[in-house]
Amino acid sequence: MDYNLDSPGLVSSLDELSLWSAPFGLKILERINLRPQLHALDIGCGTGFPLLELSMRLGPESKVYGLDPWQAALDRADFKAKEYQINNISFFKGEAENMPFFTGTFDLLVSNNGLNNVRNIEQAMAECYRVARSGAQFVWTMNTDASFAPFYKLFRLALEQNHCTECLSAVDAHIYAKRRPVDEMSKITTHAGFEITMLLHDSFNYRFSNGTAMLSHSFIRLAFMPSWLEIIPPQNRNQILSTLEAFLNELAEKEKGLTMPVPFVVFDCVKP
Ligand SMILES: C[S@@+](CC[C@H](N)C(=O)[O-])C[C@H]1O[C@@H](n2cnc3c(N)ncnc32)[C@H](O)[C@@H]1O
């Protein structure tokens, strides 16, 4: 059964998402310069991470803003903020490409796996630059194009084995759309006007007992499966998914489990 992203029940269960988001977000919380009385913005705050934590770490004298186009997630973040009795957050439904904020508003901008998910990264980055004050810190994370490398190797093999070689370029395009090369992202960041003071590389592993476990995991089904399915013509989906699952299970058998590396980068930047 498909997930309905607008279902309040599903959205209220999404705290699990932080398990995926935490390794990236914790690096943001480590790197930011914490001072009171800041104006801070979380771009693509989703269900409130790291927004809520950021607001509490900066303290009640700071004003913190969350921006995301996903209304159901903003409602959940707002619900949690109320439960936690946090009074210094304002939520905005909107896109990074066209922010509802005045020029030079923010001392601190963060984005945890948000900016790599926007429609137009160049436009979003230009907006980040516009709404930042001179001297503002801007820390953002994304997982790299080498994420889940063993999965993508077997996905390509399953497509080839089922005579869907024309889909192989769609796999490349899918990875490029979500995870552009780090060099390219660096250029977009500096082209917008930011100085990158530190580019940090890190990695964590997403592990499963086998392919069946991986493909039925709720977060895989919610965040990855829809874009994987788009790559395959509808009439071939069942066949290719079964081949892929068998390949993943074989690998898990051989390696005593499936380990999916998630390399990621942290851009620590400043607006000169
Ligand atoms: C991978 S989630 C990260 C959510 C959250 N920051 C976290 O760490 O859990 C990406 C978020 O970016 C949001 N997003 C997608 N397009 C966006 C856009 N154009 N502008 C701002 N946010 C966007 C999504 O709605 C989603 O909440």
Write down the domain spans for the chain. Answer: 8-270
Beta strands in 14-169 (DSSP E): 39-43, 63-68, 89-93, 106-112, 132-143
Contact 138, 196 (CB under 8 A): no
CB atoms within 10 A of CB 159: 22
In the reported structure, the alpha carbon of residue 3 is separated from the centroid of ligand 1 by a whole-number distance in angstroms of 18
User: Domain 8-270 falls in which CATH fold?
Assistant: Rossmann fold (3.40.50)
Predicted confidence at residue 80, as pLDDT, reads 87
Cβ–ligand 1 distance for 117 under 6 Å, the answer yes
In this prediction, residue 106 carries a pLDDT of: 98
- Asked if 223 contacts 158 with a C-beta cutoff of 8 angstroms, the reply is no
Distance from the alpha carbon of residue 96 to the mean position of ligand 1, in angstroms: 9
* Side-chain half-sphere exposure of 227, counting CA atoms within 13 A: 16
Please indicate whether residue 46, judged by its CB atom, sits closer than 6 Å to ligand 1.
Answer: yes
pLDDT tens-place string over residues 222-232: 999 999 999 99
Which one, of 139, 112, 135, 114, lies nearest residue 124 by Cα? 114
Per-residue pLDDT tens, the chain, 272 aa: give them.
688 888 776 676 556 556 889 999 999 999 999 999 999 999 999 999 999 999 999 999 999 999 999 999 999 899 888 888 899 999 999 999 999 999 999 999 999 999 999 999 999 999 999 999 999 999 999 999 999 999 999 999 999 999 999 999 999 999 999 899 999 999 999 999 999 999 999 999 999 999 999 999 999 999 999 999 999 999 999 999 999 999 999 999 999 999 999 999 999 999 99
Centre of ligand 1 to C-alpha 113, Å, is 7
The CB of 95 under 6 Å from ligand 1? The reply is yes
pTM of the model: 0.93
